[in-house]
Amino acid sequence: MIHIAHLKKQIPGGPVVLDDISFRADDGEFIAIKGSSGSGKSMLLKCLALQESWTSGTYKVDGKEVQTNWMGRMRVRKEITLLEEKPSLYPRRTALKNVLIGSTSQASPLRRATGMVRNDDYMGAMDSLEKLGLLDKAHSKAEQLSGGERQRVAFARALVHGARVLLADEPVSGLDPHAADKVLGDLKQLCKQQGLIVIAVLHQGDWAERYADRIIGLNGGKLVLQVNGRRLTEREKMML
């Protein structure tokens, strides 16, 4: 469980981009973040991933403050993964190899140099690909995959690497409706089946209303909306 209280982020010598943001995310929950351009959506994800420092506020995971001790920060960096709009994959490596990179990044220098992979790692990567409907693409190079398939490879890699929380920045941007439905449907299933927490920026269309358990709305760096996942009213849409 994640608990954020009174998060403030100010650019040094510049404006406040997030102001007094408080919310919680429970295991198995899919949370969508909506808001106009410049509202602070991407910055919020970076703060949650500790890729950006906080000006003030508390950040607890499973009831323990993570900012005030190095073990807490290490835990966040291991268990909370930020996935950018366009996933960074090695184009000439297979989907399977791209997933395994996530599981070997903390391996010994010898293992990294030889590329040797334990059978357990191999099976774990294949299991993750199967859960995301990509088993038949395991040996296809990343450059041969569609945009939606590349997104799902990035999800599989994060899971193999031990992620408990996925922070996804516009994961379906640029995808056709069918591919977007597949990506978001897979994320929803991961929440239900594995207790994963997904916090995703979903700006376009009605994706948030269709898939999210909860919708958080930002405007000008402030939290202006927090409702259970449902169709938003016209008044609520005007707030974003």
**Which residue, 110, 15, 9, is CA-closest to 67?**
9
Query: What CATH number corresponds to the domain at position 163?
Result: 3.40.50.300
CB count in 10 Å sphere of residue 68: 10
pLDDT at 162: 85
Residue 182 has pLDDT above 60, yes or no: yes
> Is residue 25 a contact partner of residue 79, using CB atoms and an 8 Å limit?
no
pLDDT in tens, 69-96: 888 888 888 899 999 878 888 899 999 9
Over residues 162-184, the mean pLDDT reads: 90
Greatest CA span in the chain, whole angstroms? 59
Asked if the model's pLDDT at residue 139 lies above 70, the reply is: yes
Q: How much is the average pLDDT of 217-222?
A: 96
Q: pTM of the prediction?
A: 0.89
Instruction: Kindly state the tokens that stand for 33.
Output: 């973040």
Range among 78-92, 137-151, 173-187 with highest mean pLDDT value = 137-151
Whether 145 has a pLDDT exceeding 70, the answer reads: yes
232 has a pLDDT exceeding 70? yes
Q: Kindly state the helix (H) or strand (E) to which residue 137 belongs, with its residue range.
A: none
Predicted confidence (pLDDT) per residue in 196-219, tens digit? 999 999 987 689 999 999 999 999
pLDDT of 161 over the 90 cut: no
pLDDT at position 165: 95
Instruction: Please give the tally of structural domains in the chain.
Output: 1
Domain of 27, in residue numbers: 2-238
Q: Over the chain, what is the mean pLDDT?
A: 89
Task: Give the type of residue at 60.
Answer: K
pLDDT above 60 for 119: yes
Confidence (pLDDT) at 104: 53
**DSSP of 23-34, one letter per residue?**
EEE-TT-EEEEE
Q: Contact 30/185 with Cβ under 8 angstroms?
A: no
